[in-house]
Amino acid sequence: MPIAFVIGTAGSGKSLFTAALSEWLKMSKQDVATVNLDPGVLKLPYSPDVDVRNYVDAGDIMEKYGLGPNGAAIMAADLIADECENLSKDIEEAHADFVLVDTPGQMELFAFRASGPYIVNELTKEPKAILYLFDAVFSVNPLNYVSNMFLSAAVYNRFFQPQVHLLSKTDLLPKKEVKEIIDWSADPRALEDAIEQKLEDTKRIFSRSMMHAISQLGLKFLLIPVSSRTNEGLTNVNTVLERILTQGEKYTY
C-alpha cells in the first residue's frame, strides 16, 4: 500500500495534519491507516492504527537509562530502526489502501540520523512520498522562508523520494499574506523582490545567495496552502498524492 510521511520542523503541524487528512480521506470513503512514529508524544489528535510507542517509548527510556528528554529522544529515534519489521507487519495487518505516517516532533531526529532514511526504505517497498510542512506563521518572513527551503532541500537529500511542499496553518494568516508566500514558491523573482524589500544588510545578501544556491539544485518548492482547522487544500493534496503514488510522478523535479 502506498505511504506518505509527514515531515516538518517542531510544531509545524504534522500531527494535526495527519489527523485532518486522514479524517478527510475517510469522509471521502477512502481506506486510510495512520501511523505514529513519534516515541515521545504524550497526546495525539487522532487514534493511530499503528503506534511506535507499543515498541519504543521515550518516557520509559528516560527512566531506564537515566537520560534527559533530549538524550532519550535520540536513543528512541535509533531504537525505532530495530522495530521496523514489527511496524511493517502492523501496517500490513491494517489492510488499508493508503498509509499516512506522522513523524517525530524534532525533525532532525528523523531526517538527519541514520534511522529515518532506513525506516522510510524498509517500512514498505510500495510507492512513497514525503509531505514537507512549511509553517505559514514562521514563513511570512522571507529570511525564515529561505531557511525552510534550505531545510526541505536537506530533507530531500536524505530521502530522495517525491517530496510535496505544503504551507500549513494558513487559517492563521490573512489571505493576502498566504498568497504572497505562495507567489514566492511559484516565482523566484517574487521571492527575490521580497528579500530586497523586507530584509536589510547581511540578512538580505545571505538570503539572496542562499535562495540562488537552492534554485541551482533544480528543486521545485511550489507550496500547496493547507489548514488542518478549515480543511483548506486537502483536496489538492489528495490529487497530488494520487498522481505520485499511483502514476509514479516525480513531483519534486
Ligand X SMILES: Nc1nc2c(ncn2[C@@H]2O[C@H](COP(=O)(O)OP(=O)(O)OP(=O)(O)O)[C@@H](O)[C@H]2O)c(=O)[nH]1
Written as nine digits, the cell of 105 is 516532533
Does 15 bind Mg ion (CB under 5 A)? Our answer is yes
**Spatial separation of the C-alpha atoms in residues 199 and 56, rounded to whole Å:** 44
Q: How far is the CB of 75 from ligand X (least distance, A)?
A: 18
Which entry of Mg ion, ligand X, none binds 11, CB below 5 to 8 A by partner kind? ligand X
Which entry of Mg ion, ligand X, none binds 233, CB below 5 to 8 A by partner kind? none
Does 186 bind ligand X (CB under 6 A)? Our answer is no
Does 168 bind ligand X (CB under 6 A)? Our answer is yes
In the bound state, the residue with its beta carbon closest to ligand X is 105
Which entry of ligand X, Mg ion, none binds 171, CB below 5 to 8 A by partner kind? ligand X
**Spatial separation of the C-alpha atoms in residues 2 and 246, rounded to whole Å:** 8
Does 36 bind ligand X (CB under 6 A)? Our answer is no
The interface with ligand X within residues 55-74 (CB under 6 A) comprises none
- Out of 23, 92, 108, 171, the only residue in the binding site for ligand X (CB under 6 A) is 171
Q: How far is the CB of 169 from ligand X (least distance, A)?
A: 4
102 vs 180, beta carbon nearer ligand X:
102
Q: How far is the CB of 200 from Mg ion (least distance, A)?
A: 35
Does 9 bind Mg ion (CB under 5 A)? Our answer is no
Strand partners, 50: 35
Long-range contacts of 11-16 (CB under 8 A, 24+ apart): 11/105, 11/135, 12/133, 12/134, 12/135, 12/138, 12/168, 13/133, 13/135, 13/168, 13/169, 13/228, 14/102, 14/103, 14/105, 14/133, 15/41, 15/44, 15/45, 15/46, 15/102, 16/45, 16/228
Report the interface residues with Mg ion, using CB under 5 A.
14-15, 105
Report the interface residues with ligand X, using CB under 6 A.
8, 10-16, 38, 105, 168-169, 171-172, 227-229
